[in-house]
Structure 1
Amino acid sequence: MVALHCDGSLSDDKAGFGGLIRDDSGDPLAAFVGIGDDLSVLSMELMAIYRGISLCVDKGFYDVSIRSNSKLAADILNGVIIGPWQILTLKSKIHIKARQKSKKKNIKARLLRSKEFIHAWREQNQPADFMASFPTDPSGILWEPESFPPELAILIKQDKEFVTYYRM
């Protein structure tokens, strides 16, 4: 199972999201950054999850632990609460993407064999937090580990080594 760490960010002039896919040893497999047009942190959290699931499917990762530091997003996707009406379309898109059918030989199989939506404490989500506020253009950024910015590589290394994270 891979871990998909996601985060959304909102500032005065930008709505953004980002995420990091890691293997079961904590080593990074890919990272992404995007911008949104909905000025809602919850929407950006859900956009990060949607984009992250899409990336996992594209890369052939079918067992995914989806982690967000938004307990609200995790509760909405787990069906604990319905959530505000403004995000219901995005919520449906996430669930559809997680259940997407295979187009090979008319086989109706889930592309994600297993998934879980987990609330991860902010301290466990520092690399995704960094990416959610990373500057990008409308097309976004997709990084492979060898092309990570140095700051991100350091955050991932510190996270893997359990260095305490203090958010300012």
Structure 2
Amino acid sequence: MENDGAGLGGVIRDSEGEIVVLFSTEAPKEDIFMLELEAIYKGIQLASSRGYDRIWLESDSLVAVQIISDQVEPPWKSVKILQQIKEKISSFSSWKISHIWREANSAADYLSKRSCPLKGVDLPPTIATPELLAIIRDDCEGKKYIRL
């Protein structure tokens, strides 16, 4: 499945659920799986650069979660980025990764869209649009999101 002009996007929250940093960037033409890994890596880099010692990664890509958790073999094209992810993850005192349904991960989905009005790698939470803040609140509260 090829990228239709989407990008990389994510939200980093602290242990209280407060937004720490956002990222929303253009991505090279690549298949969706590789973009998922790139987004995970970008989130790990940002968490590390902010001095976090423990992280909990959530991704709506079950395959990416399974591969990072060593549950399934990675495709050959992902070996380099997986090596970078695992090297960076090993610098944390503890980490875990879990799958989250896309419907519960709508903030990252919003940030990865080409139409997202926010663009940047280390965006402060103060620039979040009211729409994004509502999406993040809904994600935190576990509200259902219906995909159309």
Give the TM-score normalised by the residue count of structure 1: 0.79
Match of 1:123, SS? helix
**Cα shift readout 1:134-165 (whole Å, capped 9, x = no counterpart):** 447xx844321111122211111222233221
Q: Which blocks of at least 5 consecutive residues in structure 1 are unaligned?
A: 1-8, 100-109
**1:114 paired to 2:94:** yes
1:15/1:40 contact within 8 Å kept: no
Distance in 2 (alpha carbons) for counterparts of 1:84 and 1:51: 20
Give the TM-score normalised by the residue count of structure 2: 0.88
Distance in 1 (alpha carbons) for counterparts of 2:89 and 2:32: 22
Q: Which blocks of at least 5 consecutive residues in structure 2 are unaligned?
A: none
Distance in 2 (alpha carbons) for counterparts of 1:79 and 1:162: 28
Instruction: From the superposition, tell whether residues 41 and 80 of structure 1 become closer, same or farther in structure 2 (CA, over 3 Å).
Output: same
Identity of aligned residues (%): 30
Structure-1 residue corresponding to 2:88: 97
2:23/2:121 contact within 8 Å kept: yes
Q: 2:136 aligns with which of 156, 165, 168?
A: 156
Instruction: From the superposition, tell whether residues 123 and 16 of structure 1 become closer, same or farther in structure 2 (CA, over 3 Å).
Output: same
Range that drifts further, 139-148 or 22-31? 139-148
**1:51 paired to 2:42:** yes
**1:54 positional shift:** 0.3
**1:147 paired to 2:127:** yes
Greater CA radius of gyration, 1 or 2? 1
Distance in 1 (alpha carbons) for counterparts of 2:16 and 2:104: 15
Instruction: From the superposition, tell whether residues 15 and 165 of structure 1 become closer, same or farther in structure 2 (CA, over 3 Å).
Output: closer
Give structure 1 regions of 4+ aligned residues with deviation exceeding 3 angstroms.
Answer: none
Task: State the number of aligned residues.
Answer: 145
Distance in 2 (alpha carbons) for counterparts of 1:135 and 1:62: 33
Indicate the RMSD between aligned Cα atoms, in angstroms: 1.9
Distance in 2 (alpha carbons) for counterparts of 1:15 and 1:155: 18
